[in-house]
Structure 1
């Protein structure tokens, strides 16, 4: 859908600004993109509708993310922020337990990371980008965009005053706000069924020997294998806890959410033992219909980063990793383009980014059918294959030296047959 730059400009106030790259959204993808652009000597303007700190879901990072934080010059700030250390995942179903240590994996790279309160984490990242020279404006909303070789954004500040931003390129890092997919009608059907997540925080009060706080706990409902829970230990004795299921399973009025989540926690023995009736520290929230997709992750004058393009499911905590990978990959292509080279966004950005997304998709789909759960809980796991699975769970979904990345659908299906044979 083409929009004339001239038509967009006519609706604006006389105020016009120019920048190399305009970035919509100050979350992890926007912050890392801005920092990488500044390192390359490009001007970057970040436009964020909200004010930070603000709550966000997606609190358990994957080790692959650390590579991008390090390259963006953010690693020291993240390490010094005091977040909860993370080295793996702990899976539970009935009396079956399977723990993965992400340091023991097929792929080369980071094996540890953090579990974070996103309000603080996101604020740390965008603060690093600002320190590197990115201009960040909170409370500024993108209202419209004209596409083409010289994209123009129509922006409003909190007073309602409007202005135009002329950019050489636009990166949409707006996450679930999905600004450009909404404004430019880019939405496409997703293969994922409509699921919902219901969640809150608790003061867990866990004794040191009760649970490994260095791992996320993913627990499957004893009777419903497509219903699962997360428990993410955070710094200071706080934990994020939530339940994911098809939307109808969690469909209660807002006033009934706390009772519904409490009941579900009591139905899962491990979480009930660990959390009990610890009071929720914030109102129980619910999001639904979050799976999203677009036909293409780019267009004339713009590219979509992270959740603004596609979001699969929270089960393997892939969201932030995909967001940071997309920022890293997009900036590499964009820097060449801004330097005068002819680039192919489809071949150099869309296709390689989707390779990892499709790897995660194969794992997500088989999680909900129960096939991946059969693999994870299989008692006689081969160490070599286990390290390959661990690498994907750690976020290394683009490492094609791993057979479960190079050909995930066939490999997982064959492995499942072997586990059931």
Structure 2
């Protein structure tokens, strides 16, 4: 490879935000090089998509490929706590747009998106690791190590950091700041669930929905249950690090004990086989000093990650890719662009909406709303729209003023 290569846009990371951004830019004949440090497929969590993701995939010309891939159909979210059950049907929502989506094993899903981007003409370089970045000049330069250990440099008009939890630019440019959300950890695994149709019917279990369980003795602890189309499901538990110290160090043993503490989950998993890999992730909430400058921007988790409770991570990632690509297209067309006003502020509308409901989940306000028995149908449609990922629709009053609206609604529900 040449000493100093040239391209219009370098994208760091070939996950959903990177490939969606690359595909949108490529459709406008803007040259991109995607640098991915891993090989695909590779394991990742964030497996329950929201319907709003489908709108981003349409813009990237990837919707049909995902639709035909055989992933688990998803039409809503269910919630359980101490025998209470409620659910939100995403087709019954306030905001127009897709009302269904999929639950996906990210190894195959991310590879599918990357393969689709390559079919459209995007160049992806696997096992290429960014080691340094110089953004001092108008056209930044990245130092990279390729798949066989050879160094090279690449110069671009703009960098999009889609590196997810790797957070390449925040690390290299000293942009990281502590999140204002309390630090939590997630313990997770994949399970061959062996849930028969008769057992699902007996326990009123809907495989077409993600199920969120609240721990029966600790409302700040919750479980996710995400079924896949191949008889496997993802199960995870989220709490503070202190909570997990009371459980075995062995991850599978801890998960078996934790799932046995939730009565419905214990029955549902009575034939389950905990035979797959497990893992933990801690301190995942993250923030940065700024999301963009004149020649770079952070997408998705590289910029800000909240919490997995409402599966907002991939949605925020794809929305950030969409907004950044649209801003870049305008910039390459010679229009004056303000990255704070044109990208960061619009993106933060949805991030701050999700943040309000994440905070409300943990302080109990949103749990009061979710489990309220006499929900107003119109209000429920507005909340359903947010849970479906339409957190940027400011015509929805629960998006336009999320904190105040949620607090008022929670107060009514608690009465």
**Smaller-chain TM-score bracket:** over 0.9
Q: What residue is the counterpart of 1:367 in the other structure?
A: 361
Give the unaligned 5+ runs of structure 2: none
Distance 1:332 1:254, change over 3 A: farther
Corresponding position of 1:5: none
1:212 equivalent among 198, 203, 206? 206
Q: Which stretch shows the higher mean deviation, 97-106 or 276-285?
A: 276-285
Give the corresponding residue for 1:231.
225
Partner of 2:215: 221
Q: How does 1:79-98 map to 2 (within 5 A)?
A: 79-98=67-86
Task: Judge conservation of contact 2:126–2:147 (CA < 8 Å) in 1.
Answer: no
Q: Deviations over 1:180-214 (max 9, x none)?
A: 00000000121111100001011111122512110
**Which of 89, 98, 117 does residue 110 from structure 1 map onto?**
98
Q: 1:339 to 1:254 in 2, by over 3 A?
A: farther
Give the TM-score normalised by structure 2: 0.97
Q: Deviations over 1:271-310 (max 9, x none)?
A: 1111126222323211100000012101231000000000
SS of equivalent residue, structure 2 residue 250: helix
CA RMSD, Structure 1 to Structure 2 (Å): 1.3
Report what 1:391 is aligned to: 385
Deviation digits for residues 227-259 of structure 1 (CA, Å, limit 9, x no counterpart): 000110101111101100011212479852211
What does the per-residue CA deviation read over 1:300-358, in whole Å, with 9 as the maximum and x for residues that have no partner? 31000000000000000000000000000001111111122210000010001001000
Q: What is the number of residues matched between the two proteins?
A: 409
Per the alignment, residue 349 of structure 2 pairs with 355
Structure 2 Cα separation of the partners of residues 337 and 254 of structure 1: 53
Tell me if structure 2 keeps the 8 A contact 1:89–1:218.
Answer: yes
The 2-side partners of 1:361 and 1:112 are apart by: 23
Q: 1:166 to 1:254 in 2, by over 3 A?
A: farther
Residue matched to 1:143: 131
Picking from 144, 162, 165, the partner of 2:151 is 162
Question: Which residue of 50, 69, 81 maps to 1:62?
Answer: 50
- Cα 1:417–1:255 change in 2 (3 A) is closer
User: What residue is the counterpart of 2:41 in the other structure?
Assistant: 53
Residue deviations 1:44-84, cap 9 Å, x none? 10000000000000000000000010110101110111100
Counterpart residue number, 1:285: 279
CA distance in 2 between counterparts of 1:340 and 1:417 reads: 50
Greater shift, 274-283 or 234-243, is seen at: 274-283
Unaligned runs of 5+ in 1: 1-12
Q: Is the 8 A contact 2:226 2:235 kept in 1?
A: yes
**Separation (CA, whole Å) in 2 of partners of 1:207 and 1:289:** 36
Cα deviation for residue 104 of structure 1 reads 0.3
Among candidates 239, 242, 254, match of residue 236 of structure 2: 242
Contact 2:90–2:100 at 8 Å: present in 1 too? Answer: yes
Secondary structure of the structure 1 residue equivalent to 2:230: helix
